[in-house]
Structure 1
């Protein structure tokens, strides 16, 4: 099989290009639609306009209006229609413009998408992907900067995946589309155009339900996901200059959690700091901390520390940086953790 780029030009061997995260999403969608005619896209303004962040730019021109469908401004309709499509053998990828707009769709996702396999005793599946930009850091107005991944991680039957780089966005999105069960695929919009990586359109999938070790270390484990991975890596570099070796874990799939890998790292280091920009109470960080306390207390040489957002709505852009975890916050938390002897 030859490979196609998003412009529809066939190539024998995929070339590597420096791509942003949003370009990697576009490339993965084009690859999935080329490989499987059952993959269809739907969402608000995703066709002619290519989506609010241009993640689907050019795809309607390439694959036609029957496979890349503009919908009304109705998130419940988008989710319900996509679930119906999935139950009848299609593989819909639905876009919600911002995660803050996803709440009208939750009734459909929680009541139907998450339960379809169980309700029908495996007779029906729901191979649905719901894409949504999430998180702060782009000076957006109200309802455009939420990080509410924990709401979906709490629902049995929903898988929640969050890429943190172009390569992981490409490989994880392809795996999410392949998955026979519903996936909430949250894209950190602060990273959409913040960094580039060499990426080949080779169709290579990355595994779901597993963490990625981005940096090995032996003194402390730093656990994060999404956009906060950038600050976490920068903090690890600063800690290295102070003689502290930090292991950095990108959780990537926040539900179900790959606790075996996290525990293995903490067994090695004895210390753990968890970083996320979502509100502190009831967050994924609290779940990871509780599981470590329940299952691995004898491995810990210090309490697990969380560096998180606040239990408030995301503030307007003048105060965003006060809300989002910063490198200095992570370094200070690591220092506190290392102070226990």
Structure 2
């Protein structure tokens, strides 16, 4: 069973280069290596910590829950989890230095468990930058900063355990391209950032598995960047819908070579809604989508991002592999129904 987290986290990526003393050089002792690791963690916590905030939700004047968030724009834009704001329109933010601010919920997206907030006061706040989660690698160090179980400004460390996971959202739809980490997360960590050694957000912490140890999840920063942009522009996330279920899959090398494909993966269709646009266009279960509207598709995450609001009610080309042949079909995405 998946249990949503509820507060404050940041996570670090420590590359091999950052653990070395220079090109080709290595620490001479284990103590030197540990000191370098400790300095890297401390530096990231000092840089990113001030941008992480506590979020408190009230209903009828009474506390209704708390979580974490991260400031992504100095004028007061903040990201958190949808389940943290619980459908509220206004929440309270508390900064690391204890400053209390009121924030308006610009919009939330239960399908990805993300929400975008704006501080109502005219402020200038410390911020963290969204990075490129597609560059993450398994084994990179992860650091969580937050207020799990009410213990404010707690720091834990682990690694990036896996990439490209799928996680069921509260709406029943799958959140794709999820980052798995073993950095300790507890109720109170939800909505906090996963941060790289460069001080960039690579994920927004969202859930743990009850009864498991060291299995925690974060929504990838590329997904968060897309959702934040849609909410800022439209107040909600508008998505195109073609009526398929899919999974990232490898393309057989012999087929890729024969068809002169540069990509190694695509999005295999697991099921096709017979009443949806994909079925009407002639797509079948087992087809591998490799491009949509002229843009390469190498994963389910890329397919979902490609089905943005601009594709609604347009007719666009979709390139697929069927068995060992490349085909092109034309499809007319519609607006995805509300959850």
More strand by share: 2
TM-score (norm 1): 0.29
More helix by share: 1
> Quick check: which has more Rg, 1 or 2?
2
